[in-house]
Structure 1
């Protein structure tokens, strides 16, 4: 479980999780359609010039509270809770193949920081794939490996 606090209303965070234009500014993938409705879609992993299409199915889209979709064989569940200061975002990323927990946590850590800056009006640009190595990815992965004892 990955938890982050944002100083923005759930509707603002929801839009960042579902709108393809916003996803392209912070997420590890692009989306061919808005994720705010159930049904099949494609999420495209981006690593420099390399693009990999991954099938996805939006299973739940209850704006602005719960978004759940498959990403290949993995399952992502985003929950948004309104707080006095904005929104608590809870991500549960269920891996189909264990062993990558620390790497996935480090990746989402970087993405969440890029999202925070984007929502705060201080965008730094998307950090994906090999570019993450220049932004502390390896140190984060090692720290999460210790915390997760993997």
Structure 2
């Protein structure tokens, strides 16, 4: 696909659920690839670099410390991370700064149901996070299809429909449009 013609796909299943004194953004995406292939995209640094909002300093497929560097244009911000659980190819859980990401991969007849649970501090962050993950996972889908478009992250996301996605997810989550 020509990067300039990239447009985000339809909204995904999304929810915001209480998690103690924080919240989990629950984001569900069906992918037409087997769990092993999706697992590789979630754990291998060279694949993550092509779709994720961060760069990983190591393969995330094994427990232990890592560094995930958030990317926005030419700037990066390294943050400590710890892979807490890596059960190939069904469950990956790691911290990223103050956040916690839990990726659940369930095989389906046509591929994989990917469920992301991203722990957030404030409920009004959910639409913003959902819009960002939506774009990242659209890009990951193209990568898995063998049709890479390159990462869309940071401020560049606004050029690819992030504002509209944020507003649509805010409405879906029935939260203030922030």
TM-score interval for Structure 1 and Structure 2 normalised by the shorter chain: over 0.9
Matches within 5 A, 1:58-77: 58-77=83-102
Aligned equivalent of 2:79: 54
**Of residues 106, 119, 135 in structure 2, which corresponds to 1:94?**
119
Aligned equivalent of 2:155: 130
**Of residues 112, 115, 140 in structure 1, which corresponds to 2:140?**
115
Displacement of 1:98: 3.7
Displacement of 1:123: 0.8
**Of residues 130, 140, 143 in structure 2, which corresponds to 1:105?**
130
Aligned equivalent of 2:23: none
Aligned equivalent of 1:22: 47
Displacement of 1:149: 1.6
Stretches of 4+ moved more than 4 A in 1? none
SS of residue matched to 2:124: coil
Structure 1 gap segments, 5+ residues each: none
Counterparts of 1:103 and 1:66 in 2: how far apart (Å)?
A: 24
Counterparts of 1:97 and 1:69 in 2: how far apart (Å)?
A: 19
Counterparts of 1:102 and 1:134 in 2: how far apart (Å)?
A: 17
**Of residues 27, 43, 64 in structure 2, which corresponds to 1:2?**
27
SS of residue matched to 1:99: helix
Displacement of 1:104: 0.3
Deviations 1:63-96 (A, max 9, x none): 0000000111111000001111111101011113
Structure 1 vs Structure 2 CA RMSD: 0.8
Tell me how many residue pairs correspond in the alignment.
150
SS of residue matched to 2:51: coil
Counterparts of 1:37 and 1:21 in 2: how far apart (Å)?
A: 16
Deviations 1:21-41 (A, max 9, x none): 000000000000000000111
TM-score by length of 2: 0.82
TM-score by length of 1: 0.98
User: 18-27 vs 96-105, which deviates more?
Assistant: 96-105
Displacement of 1:148: 1.0
Counterparts of 1:27 and 1:47 in 2: how far apart (Å)?
A: 11
Aligned equivalent of 2:60: 35
